[in-house]
Amino acid sequence: MHLAIDYGRAQLQLDVPDARLATLSRPAPVAPVSDPAAAVRQALEHPFDFPALRRALTPDDHVAIVVDEHLPRLAELLTPILEHIAAARVTPEAITLLCPPPSGTQDWVNDLPDEFQDVRIEVHDPTDRRKLSYLATTKHGRRLYLNRTAVDADQLVVLTKRSYDPLLGYAGAEGAIYPALSDTATRQEAASKMSLAPPGGTAWPLRQEAAEVAWLLGAPFLVQVIEGAGEEIAHVVGGSLGSSTEGQRLLDARWRATVAGPVGTVVAGVSGDPARHGFTDLAQALASAARVVRDNGRIILLTEATPQLGAAAELLRQAETPAQALEWLRQQKPADMAAACQWASAAQKAHIYLLSGLDDETAEELFTTPLDHAGQTQRLLAADGAFLFLADAHKALAVAAG
């Protein structure tokens, strides 16, 4: 059989024996949204079980928009939200674009229309007590300190993608408010609650707490983006906090899949603009592959990214073994701990082969065997056992049924 898998902006063609190929059971993907801006306008005017956003706004309002900087085509998605708010006669000076950490250089701001160049940009700093405000005490007795701009806003809008997450189960929506916009101590405590189990059924405790925090804030309006393959967008959902469940459902319908049982080798691709792929994306791809690979199997991760490595990744490089790295991460709790734990856990489970822009020494220090080119994958598939192709592994949730 002749198969192809996309990685970055490239594609690898492979010849594979039919008898050894495992397949994923998943619904057929829907056609991608042809006009993302129009889809956002529709979500604002006709949200899920909620009136149009503009009906909640007055000209004197201050509006904060939580912006997920990892969204594809961000300016294209953000512009119709700004236009919708402006139609309610809210001035650009009364709008703050609030970016949770870690944040980039906000180059996407230059792609916004000229009439919105006066909106404020704020990157949340969890260490600055002056930028935090006491909100309330949760039912479990936690005193909540959140970003002051978010607490003081007359209307909070949350523009995020939905994805799988080792802390919340499902990232995005209320999870972009809490713990993302909380203080350092809360964020560090949340990082220690990581789970590698697939989400589903009852919401994880941290997600339940995030929903409570969003409710305490009032009535945040959610704009949820479910990605398709590569840079495509599959769905846009608008609405109140109650629409979060619909976003999770659509995410599962697009990206949750099962395989009959663990396989010997997983070929995991990370497609799309490699400039958008960071260490977290690669770690999520490894975590997804690790769920369906057998113990001591192989994961072949194909990407064109050259991710920047934070404090947690540097701990991986210094450790002698994945087990030692996990112990150091639990002790030091760096901000990017979750991704590094996913990476180290995958390295404990299987041997990782990595095609990326990282130099060989760095790749080896991350417990991987670097590949010189994608064509080496063909030789690696000659090993015994079944193998699986996992496209866009950084977005997928693959689970072994057996």
Query: Do the first three CATH levels of 2-26+260-400 and 36-253 match, i.e. the same topology?
Result: no
What is the rounded CA–CA span in Å between residue 153 and residue 384?
A: 59
What is the rounded CA–CA span in Å between residue 279 and residue 309?
A: 7
Q: What is the band of 383 on the pLDDT scale with cuts at 50, 70, 90?
A: confident
Computed over every residue of the chain, the mean pLDDT equals 93
What is the rounded CA–CA span in Å between residue 69 and residue 263?
A: 35
Backbone angles phi, psi at 261, to 5 degrees: -170, 170
The ranges assigned to domains in the chain are: 2-26+260-400, 36-253
Beta strand segments in 152-203, E: 155-161, 163-165, 169-171
Cβ neighbours of residue 44 closer than 8 Å, sequence gap 6 or more: 52, 53, 54, 80, 81, 84, 223, 238
What residue has token string 């085509």?
A: 73
What residue has token string 């009852």?
A: 202
Read off the amino acid at residue 102: P
Q: What is the band of 15 on the pLDDT scale with cuts at 50, 70, 90?
A: confident
Parallel, antiparallel, or unpaired: how do β-strands 169-171 and 163-165 relate?
antiparallel
Is 3.60.21.10 the CATH classification of the domain at 2-26+260-400? no
What residue has token string 């975590």?
A: 287
Q: Which CATH number fits domain 36-253: 3.40.50.300, 1.10.1060.10, 3.40.50.11720, 3.40.50.11440?
A: 3.40.50.11440
Q: Of the ranges 56-60, 99-103, 111-115, 262-266, which one carries the lowest mean pLDDT score?
A: 99-103
Instruction: Give me the half-sphere count of Cα atoms (radius 13 Å) on the Cβ side of residue 284.
Output: 23
Q: Of the ranges 156-165, 218-227, 330-339, 391-400, which one carries the lowest mean pLDDT score?
A: 330-339
CA dihedral 213, 217, 220, 225 (to 10 degrees): -30
Instruction: Read off the pLDDT of residues 66-97 as tens digits, 9 standing for 90 and up.
Output: 999 999 999 999 999 999 999 999 999 999 99
Cβ neighbours of residue 218 closer than 8 Å, sequence gap 6 or more: 156
Instruction: Read off the pLDDT of residues 205-215 as tens digits, 9 standing for 90 and up.
Output: 999 999 999 99
What is the rounded CA–CA span in Å between residue 41 and residue 44?
A: 5
Q: What is the DSSP letter of 25?
A: B
Closest CA relative to residue 337, chosen from 347, 327, 350: 327
Mean pLDDT score, 3-9: 93
pTM of the predicted protein model: 0.93
Dihedral sign for Cα atoms in the order 301, 306, 310, 316: positive
Backbone angles phi, psi at 244, to 5 degrees: -60, -40
pLDDT above 70: residue 402:
no
